[in-house]
Amino acid sequence: MPAATTTADPAPTPEISAEPSSAPPAVPAPLPLAGKVVVLDAGHQLGNANFSSEINKQVDAGGGKTKACNTTGTATNGGFPEATVTWEVATRVRDALTAAGAEVVMTRDSNSENEFGPCINVRGSLENDRADLLLSIHADGAGAGSNGFHLLLPATSHPEYAGSLAFADDLMAALNAEGLATANYVSGGMRASGDYATLNLSAKPAVIVEMGNMRNAGDAERLTSDAGQDVYAAALASAVQTYLTTP
């Protein structure tokens, strides 16, 4: 009887543990206003009234004209100053645009009784060599029965009139979308003029927004309240983004 043979079991194959695959890190989407430069002009300065000689100095206003460096601005019947309204709205707009990726340059960096200006020639020409847009924020001081916002554009002969008009159209739509009415004392809610140094001296599309009439009770309540300022700022920031991202 042949001898029994023993077959050895095959050696176990060592287990190879697969390294977990590492996915490439997610690339965040670019912010919509990345690379854009916006000049925001908060009208006037709280301390202008304390520097009468400085603000009455004549400066270049464009078109061969000169004008006073600045003015005190208007106020509500109760004394709430335009300079504070424009500052509160402008800083809200600044924060929204910065969050969307824009570089925002403010024409003034404070709202102080101890400061004046800057002058209108500085405001209009600021960052002319690189800015994409200028938005100047104001409030009006018309008769008590006048209400609503309106927009001021450079003269139709200005090189940046077409771009300014397109921006004004976006502002009009955004303000209306927030339930804000156009002025009942400015036909069509916008007007072109060669009378404003801030617009005359700008080498980029530029619009002045008069957000409402501080001498009208309803407008004044909205302009001076936190909730109202939020509404204005949301509309203005939305219009800037629309204009700068529309081909």
Handedness of CA 195, 62, 42, 188 (dihedral sign): positive
| Residues with catalytic roles | 210
- What DSSP line would sit under 213-240, residue for residue? ETTSHHHHHHHHSHHHHHHHHHHHHHHH
211 neighbors 171 (Cβ within 8 angstroms): no
Q: What is the DSSP letter of 50?
A: G
Cis amide leading into 118 (omega within 30)? yes
Q: What is the DSSP letter of 149?
A: B
135 neighbors 176 (Cβ within 8 angstroms): no
> Three-state SS for 186?
coil
Q: What is the DSSP letter of 48?
A: G
